[in-house]
Structure 1
Amino acid sequence: MSHPPTRAEARRLLTAKRLLRQDLTRYGLALFGISGLINILALTGAIYMMQVYDRALTSGSLNTLLALSILALGLYLFQGGFDAIRAQIMVRIGARLDKRLAPLAHRVAVDMPRFGFSTTEALERGRNVDTLRGFLTSGAPPALFDLPWMPVFLLFVYALHPLLGAITLCGAVVLSILTVVAEIRSRDLTQSSQQAMVQRNIAAESNARSADALVSMGLVDRAVRRFETANAEALALQTRSADVNATISSISRVLRMILQSALLGVGAFLTIGGHMSAGAIMGVSVAAGRALAPIDQVIGNWRGILGARNAWVQLRETLAAVPEERSYLTLPKPQASLKVEGLTVASPANGRVLLSDISFELSAGQALAVIGPSGGGKSTLLRALAGVWPALRGTVRFDGTALNHWEPARMGELVGYLPQEVNLFNASILDNIARLSEQRDSTAIHAASAAAGVHGMISSMPEGYDTQVGSHGSALSAGQRQRIGLARALYGQPFVVMLDEPNSALDAMGEKALNETIRDIRARGGIVIVVAHRPNVLSAVDMLAIVQGGRMIAFGPRDEVLGEKAGRVVVPMEAASGLAAGVA
């Protein structure tokens, strides 16, 4: 799923996985040992009560009571200290997990929309790390670490009297069966409710993105009703899941109270019969409660445990999509040609073939305009050439070297890409043009903005290049976003500049600047590929391709293609009516 990483990045990803395994092993052993100390010290209460009832009260010695109390206080403080250390370790495991895995998960999440996933689904994959970190700082992990130490308390109760030990063991078995029932009843409901919440969030995101259309055409109520339907389904599943967990938790609490009362009653019976001391009754009550507490806590946190498990499963799937390290040759920047051989592209969302058997070649200094009816495959062609969508078959070569042989970090030297829908980074204009580079080249930034004809517009803003564009460039108009996106595509003088309808939001002055930009790229030995719906851009190119129905039905010098094919292809209305004017 993911685009191949650079050598340095691949090493970092593999190192993160290895270090995470080491962290979990080291911290897991430490937590197991600390949990043992905590559970042994938890016997303090039971032993203290037994000694107070059987020793201090019978002897009437205040010194004995004081000594026992001081000793118990010290042990309680040690238990609290170890408990705090365990909690701190869990917090640090969560932080280290986030530090190790969040970049890997985010890398795959960034790629997911290219492969047919919604933005919401991609973000949900990234949130799995947050879910796991939240789980590690909840009450569930301590309960899970306390479970292996249950036999210590069962043996303690059994040592006081076998009958009481048997009753406690039966209670533990019943509560364990409840845990299994909770797993069976909750697993599918939890997964279904999580999936329903994703669909609900997708509906909310879709409405937010389409706000202009919804408001202008009076469709807000309809959109809200669709959201309400998705929300109601998610809430229904969440309610059913919560009902199951609440019922089982209530049964667990009732059984614990019954068991505690039974132990007190049987203990009193044994004490009356002279089989055990009165202090042992209190010791049994405390020790049995401690023995059963982890199971009760696990049942109470079962939804969180299931959520964390589902998050871990999805996270493992996400990490499996991170490719292993591969080596790349250090190739010189291309400067001669772009060659496409039998390129076939399918939709990542449904597998439908959108482009079939596309072949052509461009040399340095050439500019190609791609025209054709809407939905014919023009934008798909640019996505494939830029590496945004993978090729089903065929090869794209820069100076004879296949696209997948170039190191991804150097793709900026190969390609400048302006998509049809320009989404800017949530950063400053300067950072957007510099492609978020940490080492900004002021000269290159100015050259790119000047070439895109946007330097004057930026300079006229109160904060100039430091202006924050907002999420997806929401602080700017469509034309401003497009021109800044063009400057970003031109930054660093890439060999091939691909522009998808770059003049769709430009005025006459912007279109004139665009044509000058295309001529400048050709003059410096670059290649331009531009998808055109408006004819004015044709005057700046020397090559023309017509894409229709997923096939390239014509390719060649602009004037020849226009002369031979114009009457045989259904071109966009605006382009058809203005071809001659655009070329003139």
Structure 2
Amino acid sequence: MYLRPPESPAAGKRSLLGLIPGRSAVVWVFAFSVSVNLLLLVVPLYSIEVFDRVISSGSVETLVGLTMIAAAALGFSAAFDVLRSRLLSRFAVGFERCVAPIVLEGTIVDAASRGDGGTHDLVKVRELRTFLSSGTVTTLIDAPFLPAFILVLFFLHVWYGAIALVGTAILLVMGIISRWIARVETAEASGAALRTQAALDGIVRHASLVRAMGWTLGAVREFMRLNDQALSPVVRASERVYAIGAAARMVRMILQIAAIGAGAWLVLQNEVLSGSLIASSLLVARTLQPMESLISAWRALASAQEAWTQVQAVAVPVLARKRKTLLPVPSGRLVVERVAYRPAGAKRPILAGINFECRPSQIVVVIGPTGAGKSTLLRLLAALELPSSGTIRLDHAALHNWDADQLGRFVGYLPQDVQLVGGTVAEAIAGFDERARDEDITAAAMLAQAHDMILSLQSGYQTEIGRDGNKLSGGQRQRIGLARAFYGDRKLLLLDEPNANLDPDGEEALCSAALQVRARGATLVIVTHRPRLLTIADAVLLLRDGMQLAFGPPSKVLPLRPSAVTPLSKPADAPREVESRVHRAGGASR
């Protein structure tokens, strides 16, 4: 059965900028900016006309007419400014709606590279959205109009233009210094902020343990120490940038005074008319105001640049990924061919020389001592990691050739640390399946022998599980996690110590569920350190130090260890006898 999904919005695109909608709005923003800045020239022109024509002529009608024209022009300027702000706000929202899904997908695909305690990529998207709708952007848009105002000042008199030009140069130097300070201090604070966030996450996540061990005061002191390290450079940067901003305001005011003084001197020398006095002061202030604002905005600009760099890096794998052809529903045949895995920077591989095959409707139990690589093997089989060498195939197709979402619909994965996602039990079982039906959810729960346990909860399937299922016991989380793995038409079940938190009755229910799943045609690969699951195994994979020691029927694999006793004579051997043999064979935890 082939189900072709709709084309991704990123299909065929290489640039994140090319995906952002509403780019025509940017054109209108610049058009409105031109109008706003041109209409602001009305005030100095009005001053010139009033002082040079109205006062000398004494014409009240001219004064009224000029005032009405100036008021109308300023009204249009305010309207255009509002429209510009609304367009920027809507463009920012459209930006977030377009970029956020791509960034979230990139985070999910490459979650390991994000690291612990780091700022989430979507937080950076929101920072960019806030920046795009802020006044800093309008200041940046207004900055290119500075030469036009300087030219007008030169037209009035060369002294006015020179004052504005010198002031712009001074403020530009001060802005560069402000940007350098902001960048240096922000870089210093970034690492400390990440450490602080990681410590806070750990304290909050393990609050019960911290309280039980009497570490509350120590945890608070450690957090405050790290927080002080993060705040110190931020405070220093804020103080220095504010000092430069105050100096910039002083420079602007001095230059305005200089323009008035120069204008007065020029009037006395009969080189200009008296109206240019006020006009030059207003134009100098309008020319230097964006430069002054940018000095205080350098930190916002630096943060936005850093956020955009991070967002682009996350989006690159998603934009570069090509669509994969959907494959037929697999039968569950799993082939592992000479697989090795060594993480980046590791001195030795975690797995090497893994080579086995699972037929459809087969139960394979993986055993081995701690550190043998059992959990890593399951992550490779779930396509969560790529082998350093070798190939893993599901029905002749290498896992990397499967569409990730399609493969996920056929693979049920239960990690050793059961992680439940969702607000209620039903949501935790169905996950984010938009087509989930109640009968499918209850069927999965019944198959996992969890239905009665769920009904015993306060609100049954609508019981809130809390963050990561912290309102449930370990055994309850294990049962619900198993039901989630069974949910849907799974052809390959990967279970990492599914009986770790189960009592004997729970283990019996697990074995019964595994047999039912196998009868439905699914293949199961189960990691365990407890013997009960060996009684239902069709094959056993024995690992040690990342190497495959043996693979085959339990009766042939267990005796291969020098310390092993005679193999199991039949699947019904008592759990205590099996446990003794497994422990002597090295069948401990991962």
TM-score (ref. length: structure 1): 0.92
Q: Who is 2:243 aligned against?
A: 247
SS in 2 for 1:567: coil
Q: Who is 1:88 aligned against?
A: 86
Choose the corresponding residue for 1:138, options 128, 134, 137. Answer: 134
Residue deviations 1:183-238 (CA, integer Å, cap 9, x gap): 23322322332332122111111222232332222233333333233212211221
Residue 561 in 1 paired to residue 557 in 2? yes
Q: Who is 1:120 aligned against?
A: 117
SS in 2 for 1:422: coil
In structure 1, give the amino acid aligned to 2:579: G
Residue 75 in 1 paired to residue 76 in 2? no
Q: Who is 1:32 aligned against?
A: 30
With 381-390 and 218-227 compared, the bigger mean Cα shift is at 218-227
1:482-561 mapped onto 2 (5 Å cutoff):
482-561=478-557
Q: Who is 1:410 aligned against?
A: 406
Q: 2:20, 2:531 → 1: CA distance?
A: 61
Choose the corresponding residue for 1:474, options 453, 470, 476. Answer: 470
Q: 1:321, 1:452 → 2: CA distance?
A: 37
| 1:323 Cα offset (Å) | 4.8
Q: 1:68, 1:273 → 2: CA distance?
A: 28
Q: Which runs of 5+ in 2 are unaligned?
A: 566-574, 586-590
Residue 377 in 1 paired to residue 373 in 2? yes
Q: Who is 1:3 aligned against?
A: none
In structure 2, give the amino acid aligned to 1:457: M
In structure 2, give the amino acid aligned to 1:249: G
SS in 2 for 1:330: coil
- Shift in CA distance, 421/330, structure 1 to aligned 2, threshold 3 Å: same
SS in 2 for 1:301: helix
Q: 2:155, 2:332 → 1: CA distance?
A: 87
| 1:57 Cα offset (Å) | 2.8
- Shift in CA distance, 544/327, structure 1 to aligned 2, threshold 3 Å: same
| 1:20 Cα offset (Å) | 4.4
In structure 2, give the amino acid aligned to 1:240: R
1:349-368 mapped onto 2 (5 Å cutoff):
353-368=349-364
- Shift in CA distance, 88/443, structure 1 to aligned 2, threshold 3 Å: same
Q: Is the 8 A contact 1:469 1:475 kept in 2?
A: yes
Q: Who is 2:49 aligned against?
A: 51
- Shift in CA distance, 556/270, structure 1 to aligned 2, threshold 3 Å: same
In structure 2, give the amino acid aligned to 1:176: L
Choose the corresponding residue for 1:196, options 172, 192, 199. Answer: 192
Q: 1:416, 1:24 → 2: CA distance?
A: 41
Q: Is the 8 A contact 2:48 2:275 kept in 1?
A: yes
Q: Who is 1:106 aligned against?
A: 104
| 1:289 Cα offset (Å) | 0.6
Q: 2:443, 2:580 → 1: CA distance?
A: 31
Residue deviations 1:440-463 (CA, integer Å, cap 9, x gap): 133332221101111112223343
With 183-192 and 494-503 compared, the bigger mean Cα shift is at 183-192
In structure 1, give the amino acid aligned to 2:115: S
In structure 2, give the amino acid aligned to 1:544: V
Q: Is the 8 A contact 1:109 1:125 kept in 2?
A: yes
Residue 424 in 1 paired to residue 425 in 2? no
Q: Is the 8 A contact 1:334 1:495 kept in 2?
A: yes
Q: Who is 2:571 aligned against?
A: none
In structure 2, give the amino acid aligned to 1:430: A
Q: Who is 2:291 aligned against?
A: 295
With 262-271 and 221-230 compared, the bigger mean Cα shift is at 221-230
Q: Who is 2:579 aligned against?
A: 578
Q: Is the 8 A contact 2:14 2:320 kept in 1?
A: no
In structure 2, give the amino acid aligned to 1:255: V
| 1:9 Cα offset (Å) | 5.5
Residue 339 in 1 paired to residue 335 in 2? yes
With 310-319 and 15-24 compared, the bigger mean Cα shift is at 15-24
SS in 1 for 2:541: strand
Residue 228 in 1 paired to residue 224 in 2? yes
- Shift in CA distance, 327/29, structure 1 to aligned 2, threshold 3 Å: closer
Q: Is the 8 A contact 1:366 1:527 kept in 2?
A: yes
| 1:100 Cα offset (Å) | 0.9
- Shift in CA distance, 440/508, structure 1 to aligned 2, threshold 3 Å: same
Q: Who is 1:258 aligned against?
A: 254
Q: CA-atom RMSD, angstroms? A: 2.5
Task: Tell me the percent identity.
Answer: 33
With 422-431 and 325-334 compared, the bigger mean Cα shift is at 325-334
Residue deviations 1:146-167 (CA, integer Å, cap 9, x gap): 1111112112211111111111
Q: Is the 8 A contact 2:541 2:551 kept in 1?
A: yes
Residue deviations 1:302-351 (CA, integer Å, cap 9, x gap): 11011101111111111112253434343222225211011112336858
Q: 1:168, 1:63 → 2: CA distance?
A: 34
Q: 1:576, 1:159 → 2: CA distance?
A: 102
Q: Is the 8 A contact 2:532 2:578 kept in 1?
A: no
Q: 2:193, 2:577 → 1: CA distance?
A: 47
Q: Is the 8 A contact 2:21 2:98 kept in 1?
A: no
- Shift in CA distance, 128/261, structure 1 to aligned 2, threshold 3 Å: same
Residue 207 in 1 paired to residue 208 in 2? no
With 80-89 and 424-433 compared, the bigger mean Cα shift is at 424-433
SS in 2 for 1:544: strand
Residue 280 in 1 paired to residue 281 in 2? no
Q: 1:11, 1:21 → 2: CA distance?
A: 8
Higher helix proportion = 1
Give aligned pairs, total: 572
TM-score (ref. length: structure 2): 0.91
Q: Which runs of 5+ in 1 are unaligned?
A: 1-5
With 238-247 and 156-165 compared, the bigger mean Cα shift is at 238-247
Q: Is the 8 A contact 1:365 1:522 kept in 2?
A: yes
- Shift in CA distance, 197/435, structure 1 to aligned 2, threshold 3 Å: same
With 35-44 and 219-228 compared, the bigger mean Cα shift is at 219-228
Residue deviations 1:504-538 (CA, integer Å, cap 9, x gap): 12222211110101111222222111111222222
- Shift in CA distance, 330/308, structure 1 to aligned 2, threshold 3 Å: closer
| 1:566 Cα offset (Å) | 6.5
With 57-66 and 68-77 compared, the bigger mean Cα shift is at 57-66
- Shift in CA distance, 351/48, structure 1 to aligned 2, threshold 3 Å: farther
With 323-332 and 263-272 compared, the bigger mean Cα shift is at 323-332
In structure 2, give the amino acid aligned to 1:65: L
